[in-house]
Structure 1
Amino acid sequence: MSHESDLTRLSATELATRIRNGDVTATAAVEAHLDRIEAVDDEINAFVTVCSEAALEAAAEADRALEAGEPTEGGEDLGPLHGVPVALKDLGSLKEGVRHTYGSALFADNVAEETAAVVERLEAAGAIVIGKTNTPEFGHKGTTDNELVGATASPIDIDLNAGGSSGGSAAALGGRMAPIATGSDAGGSLRIPAAACGVYGFKPTFGLVPDDGRPSAFGRKTQHVTTGPMTRTVADAALMLEAMAGPHPADPSSVPVEIDYRAAVERPIEDYRIAYSPDLDVFPVADEVRAVVDDAVGAFEAAGATVDEIELDHGYSLEELQEATMATYMTSILETATIVEEAHGIDLRDHPDEVSDSLLAMIHIGEGSGPEDLARSGVVRTGFYDAVQDVLADYDALVTPTLSRGDVGLHEELSSSAWDWPLTWPFNWTGHPVASAPAGLTERGHPVGLQIVGRRFGDDDVLAVSAALERERPWEHLYE
């Protein structure tokens, strides 16, 4: 008997409310999403691991707690995500006892021995882990394809790649296989797949969402790597951020900043000033993408905000920016390989038949980047940071396209120097909060994302602007 129903169309906020009101059970919610996975994931390939049995057990326990009016195991009241299924990216979002592959064939049978802090927090809020989602090996590239389970398709057009590295999470959301999911972002890994799958991805200000990963706690600053929420609605992202954010003693970069994420979703933006950069001065944005973004930006004016088209005046060519990011990003990939060797005793370079060529190429480039290259990149990075800060001194938000093109094929191989595709990675230098929201479809039916950048720790402004876009240009039709 199939349990798939309209439950898979509900937002996490709506689903949690219906569960708490007794209109639907957590078991029914989990069963509906498991049936949806069975029905569509053979075509999309979003999941690496599906936790059917454990999820159903957790749902039954959630139903018993609600029926008995009991607090959770820790003694707290039922959380705001009580009974809501969550999909976890198979990189970083560890769940004890569940297979954790990092998207690598070398770790096909690896089982996590601990639960990551963000997953603990989501579960404490009542969320139920339904499975682990696909990612390129160690999240090294902007498309999702690996030697373990293959490529993940965009639910909007299965001939297109879901984007990466959080492609499985984005595809699971767009395909209605989960209402919320985790992602992580080192160069656009939340925002690229959000754009490619027509969902909402939020990269919070660096330090707000903690990372308790080991053995290295100090390797996430050069590129400002962070975990964040992926959802179909802005309100759900705010709900997830409320659960995930906050300082943690195991993360030396976490910060004790209080932000009212959920209230921001209802905030009007009539007094907001928004800067619109169609190309960050130098990116080759395709005409069909530019047309969709130009049109979407009109939503902010319809919501009462002032919008000005601007130039950042950062003064760098695209080639100069690319050269700088090659030093920072490829060094971070080399660092990942070093940490894998330290933690697991496996040198990725010794396994060319099992490790993707693109990852090995990036490691090789990283080996050629020395302290001088990083020092020079720091000058460029600072120049770009200062340019963004200058804009945000006069404006409440900066908006740009997320990607320069919307037609990356399912199995398309992008070179390690293909930095002209995503307009995302400069904001991993700067650490600003950035969301990618659905802007619409091109005439060919390809999804286009709109980046919304806020001041550092102005994550609530990013949510407010995003919510205004969603109200003016609803995008739920993308999930039919």
Structure 2
Amino acid sequence: MVMDALGMSEALRDGKIDRLELIKESYQKIDQLNGKLNAVIQRRDERALREAEKFVDKGQPFAGIPLLLKGLGQNLAGEPDTNGARLLKNNYAQETDNFVNRLQKAGFIVIGQTNVPEFGFKNITDPTLYGAAHNPWNLQYSPGGSSGGSASAVAAGIVPIAAGNDGGGSIRIPASFSGLIGLKPTRGRVPVGPTSWRGWQGAAINFALTKSIRDTAALLDALQIVQPAAPFQTPLFKPGFLARIEQPFKRKLRVAYSIESPVGSTVSQEAKAAVLEVVTFLNSLGIQTNEIENPLNGPELMQSYYIVNAGETASMFQKIEQKIGRKVTSADMELTTWAIYQAGLLLSAKDYSKTLSLWDEASAVMDRLYESYDAYLTPTTAYIAPKINAELITVKSLKKMRHVTELNKDERLNLISEFFERSLKLTPFTQQANMTGQPAISLPTFVSKKGLPLGVQFIGRKGDEATLMQLGRLFERNHMFKMLDE
């Protein structure tokens, strides 16, 4: 069995492997695989090897383990900070953010950055700046997005853990498409700042893609924090997630499940089968399951999600314009980005305030669900990964996007829904947890007839990642994870 990150750390301490050689091995794998995968967009060989030589083992949980950062929203001072965008191709981070600093304190050695779609707007990874990332299960398919490069690198065995972030499923979607474990923690659980504090008004949160539940738990133990300056707070979980995963459940579990899309789109029979297999397994262990209807207004929430995306994008470009000293134009960015930006320019404070109130109301509705259930099970994605060359935006929508400045506010917002329709059909299950702030995890339990993975998603009550990871460990212990053989 291939070692996970904790296993590597233990082997380093036992003298079974060499820390410098471990970093070199990851770079050798990049040399061998990245020409086909295009998962890694930046390397820091000399600095990483120097850090490995000087590394001091102070008992860190991941003592000298190689890690790839996502090339979006995870800043390491002096390293590129492009966000997958042509406009920022020569931009470098001025400081290390609190999330990356915490990773380094946990013992990780950053060896580079992974591929992302421009500004993370897509559920696939195909930026004009770097080109498409490929899925190691089948190179003709996408590893997903926006943490697609990270997923590709972990699935291929380049590193045992790669950092990601999730604003609408961007960890869980590539985890489903690439056969990995993908946790989105509770809003306020992990470090934010010192410049970006809210992350799409709390919808976006940093974490990682992994291959073992104990790595997931230990990483969350290392990252969880209460930051007085942060706008969102979640109490520390003690004695810790790693300590909890091998313990029995506190009571007989009750799991709600749904196999219907929350936005009314179609769901593949294989995605439904993946969930029903899990239901059968849970029932065999005496865990109660009940099929329910999603209690939220999915279409309304998705429209609100696009409002926040557009508003945050307009704010982002205002800051970029101040930095570069000129107005941005459509030539500076991909068409998807331009259309979202133009929609954001016409939004009002009233639109934004109404949207955030809707998210709070949805959060309260979902919290009531957990008075009756311990977890909520759905497919992670409704279909397997799309092919690299899949046409996810229609020709009709592309034409409208080129003329987006001629549209009024409502027409621009409706256009976002229109051009994301095909993409959303693939991945309608992940966004709600971002809006409500709940923890959610994708587990790799199913492989389709085409030989591509599909994940199932468990969504928990705010603050209760422990139950999600206990469920994950239950599947792992029963050898139900389907991961790519390296």
Q: Is the pair's TM-score, using the shorter chain for normalization, greater than 0.5?
A: yes
Distance 2:380 2:357 in 1: 24
Matches within 5 A, 1:104-123: 104-123=85-104
Quote the residue 2:386 is aligned against.
408
In the alignment, residue 48 of structure 2 is paired with which amino acid?
A: A
Distance 2:295 2:187 in 1: 24
Quote the residue 1:275 is aligned against.
256
- Secondary structure of the 1:41 match is helix
- Secondary structure of the 1:112 match is coil
- Secondary structure of the 1:463 match is helix
Whether contact under 8 Å (1:92, 1:213) holds in the other structure is: no
Quote the residue 1:251 is aligned against.
230
Whether 2:419 is the aligned partner of 1:426: answer: no
In the alignment, residue 184 of structure 2 is paired with which amino acid?
A: K
Distance 1:379 1:122 in 2: 33
Whether 2:332 is the aligned partner of 1:339: answer: no
Distance 1:384 1:227, change over 3 A: same
Distance 1:379 1:218 in 2: 16
Report the Cα offset of residue 219 of structure 1.
5.3
Distance 2:381 2:82 in 1: 28
Quote the residue 1:391 is aligned against.
369
Quote the residue 2:346 is aligned against.
368
Whether 2:207 is the aligned partner of 1:232: answer: no
Quote the residue 2:19 is aligned against.
26
Distance 2:326 2:124 in 1: 24
In the alignment, residue 166 of structure 2 is paired with which amino acid?
A: D
Distance 1:266 1:343 in 2: 50
Report the Cα offset of residue 133 of structure 1.
0.6
Q: How many residues align?
A: 455
Whether contact under 8 Å (1:264, 1:464) holds in the other structure is: yes
Which whole-Å deviations, capped at 9, do the CAs of 1:5-61 have from their partners, x for residues lacking one?
A: x8xx32101111111111111112112111111111111111110122222222222
Distance 1:263 1:29 in 2: 27
Distance 1:404 1:305 in 2: 24
In the alignment, residue 169 of structure 1 is paired with which amino acid?
A: S
Distance 1:339 1:49, change over 3 A: same
Whether contact under 8 Å (1:167, 1:193) holds in the other structure is: yes
Whether contact under 8 Å (2:37, 2:139) holds in the other structure is: yes
In the alignment, residue 300 of structure 2 is paired with which amino acid?
A: E
- Secondary structure of the 1:479 match is coil
Aligned match for 1:312, one of 284, 291, 294: 294
Q: Give the stretch that moved more between structures: 394-403 or 412-421.
A: 412-421
- Secondary structure of the 1:187 match is coil
Report the Cα offset of residue 343 of structure 1.
4.8
- Secondary structure of the 2:370 match is helix
Report the Cα offset of residue 271 of structure 1.
1.8
Distance 2:222 2:485 in 1: 25
Distance 1:413 1:364, change over 3 A: farther
Whether contact under 8 Å (2:188, 2:233) holds in the other structure is: yes
Report the Cα offset of residue 142 of structure 1.
1.5
Distance 1:452 1:319 in 2: 21
Distance 1:381 1:219 in 2: 15
Question: Structure 2: where are the runs of 5+ without partners?
Answer: 394-415
Distance 1:460 1:199, change over 3 A: same
In the alignment, residue 19 of structure 2 is paired with which amino acid?
A: A
Whether contact under 8 Å (2:446, 2:482) holds in the other structure is: no
Report the Cα offset of residue 312 of structure 1.
2.7
Report the Cα offset of residue 398 of structure 1.
0.6
Quote the residue 1:69 is aligned against.
none
Whether contact under 8 Å (2:163, 2:207) holds in the other structure is: yes
Distance 1:337 1:471 in 2: 47
Distance 1:298 1:133 in 2: 37
In the alignment, residue 394 of structure 1 is paired with which amino acid?
A: S
Whether contact under 8 Å (1:170, 1:194) holds in the other structure is: yes
Distance 1:236 1:394, change over 3 A: same
Distance 2:136 2:13 in 1: 30
Distance 2:313 2:478 in 1: 40
Quote the residue 1:285 is aligned against.
267
Whether contact under 8 Å (1:145, 1:411) holds in the other structure is: no
Which whole-Å deviations, capped at 9, do the CAs of 1:239-279 have from their partners, x for residues lacking one?
A: 11111220235533344433411122213347211111112
Q: Give the stretch that moved more between structures: 439-448 or 129-138.
A: 439-448
Report the Cα offset of residue 82 of structure 1.
0.4
Compute the TM-score of the two structures, normalised by the length of structure 2: 0.87
The percent of aligned pairs where both chains have the same amino acid is 30
Whether contact under 8 Å (1:204, 1:459) holds in the other structure is: yes
Matches within 5 A, 1:42-441: 42-62=35-55, 65=56, 77-214=58-195, 216-218=196-198, 220-221=200-201, 224-259=203-238, 260-269=240-249, 271-279=252-260, 281=262, 282-314=264-296, 316=297, 318-345=298-325, 347=327, 349-350=328-329, 352-378=330-356, 380-382=358-360, 384-415=362-393, 416-417=416-417, 418=421, 419-422=424-427, 423-441=429-447
Whether contact under 8 Å (1:210, 1:254) holds in the other structure is: no
Whether contact under 8 Å (1:180, 1:232) holds in the other structure is: yes
Distance 1:241 1:374, change over 3 A: same
In the alignment, residue 305 of structure 2 is paired with which amino acid?
A: T
Question: Structure 1: where are the runs of 5+ without partners?
Answer: 1-5, 66-71
Which whole-Å deviations, capped at 9, do the CAs of 1:341-396 have from their partners, x for residues lacking one?
A: 3455464x32x334111111111122233334335545653554344223211111
